[in-house]
Amino acid sequence: MKLTFILIGLNIIAYVISAFMSGSIIDMDVEILVKLGAIFGPFTVVDSQWQTLFTAIFLHAGMTHLLMNMFSLYLIGRSVEQYFNTVAYLGVYLFSGIIGGLVSLYMHPFSVGVGASGAIFGLFGALAGFFLAHRSKIEEHSKAFMKDFAVILGINLVLGFSIESIDVSAHIGGLVVGMIGGFILSKNPKWIGAYSMIMCIVILLMMQYLPIQYAQRIF
C-alpha cells in the first residue's frame, strides 16, 4: 500500500498549498488553481502549457472533492497493489489521468479541470482488465467483480450526468486507458514498455490534434 499512501500524501500536500493560497480550506479559488497547474484549454492547448496535464491530477476544487477522491483512491489503490507491481500501478495511474485530461480538454475546451478522478478510474479499469484477462481461471470472482464494476460505473455515470461540475469525459477516458493497461500488464508485467509507448503515441497524437480543433472553435 506504499504507493497508494504516497499518492494520497501528494494530493493532500497540493491541497494544503492551494488552500493556503486561496485563503480557504473548503473551496479553492479557480484563479489559484489555474496558477498552480489546472488544465484550461486556452492555456494548456493554445499556449502549449502541456505540463498542466500532469499537475492537474494532484489538484482539487474543494474539500468534498478531495475527500471523495482520496477515499476512492484508498479503496481501489489497495486492491491494485495486490495484483500489479509498482511500475505498472504508477504507469496506469499517470497515463489514465493525463489522457483523461486530454479527453476533457476536447469535450470542455473552456472549463477549468482538476482532480485525480481520471487516474482513479484508470485504476478501477485496470482491475477490470485483470479480471477480464484471467476470467477463465477465476470465473466466480471475475463475475462478482464485473457485477460490482457495472453497478459502480452506472452510479458514477448517473451522478456525472446529473451534476454539472463532474467531468464524465475524463472518467471514461481514464477508465478505458486503465482497462487496456490492466489487461495487457496482467498478461505480462514486462509489457509495460510497449503499453507506455502506445500511450505516449496516443498522447502525442492528441496534443497534435487539439490545437487544430481549438483554432477551428476559436477562430
Query: pTM of the prediction?
Result: 0.90
- Spatial CA neighbour of 93 closest among 50, 64, 58: 58
Percentage with pLDDT > 90 across the chain:
62
141 is catalytic: no
Amino acid occupying residue 88: A
Residues 174-192 have a mean pLDDT of 94
Does 131 or 47 have the greater pLDDT score? 47
Q: Residue 160: what pLDDT?
A: 57
The pair phi, psi for residue 113, each rounded to 5°, is -120, 130
**Backbone φ and ψ of 50, nearest 5°:** -65, -20
Residue with cell 474539500: 63
Residues 132-166: pLDDT tens digits? 887 766 666 656 666 666 666 665 666 555 545 56
- The confidence score (pLDDT) of residue 94 equals 97
What mean pLDDT comes out for the span 162-175? Answer: 76
Residue 176 confidence class, pLDDT cut points 50, 70, 90: very high
- State whether residue 102 is helix, strand or coil: helix
Q: Which residue has the cell 484508470?
A: 122
Q: Looking at residue 56, what DSSP letter applies?
A: G
The pLDDT of residue 32 is above 90: yes
DSSP 8-state class, residue 109: T
Which residue range forms the structural domain that includes residue 161? 2-218
How many independent structural domains does the chain possess?
Answer: 1
Average pLDDT over residues 168-189: 93
Q: Which residue in this structure is represented by grid cell 467483480? A: 145
Report DSSP state, residue 51.
Answer: T
Indicate the SS3 state at residue 114: coil
Among 22, 65, 169, 171, the one annotated catalytic: 171
**E strand segments, 48-198:** 112-113
**CATH, residue 187:** 1.20.1540.10
Catalytic (active site) residue 60: no
Q: Under a CB-based contact definition with an 8 Å cutoff, are residues 118 and 100 in contact?
A: yes
Residue 163 gets which letter from DSSP? Answer: S
Task: Say if residue 25's pLDDT is above 70.
Answer: yes
Centroid of chain to Cα 130: 18
At 159 the pLDDT is 54
> pLDDT by residue (tens digit) across 53-93?
999 999 999 998 898 889 889 888 888 998 899 999 999 99
Catalytic residue among 117, 142, 169, 186: 117
Per-residue cell: 81: 497493489
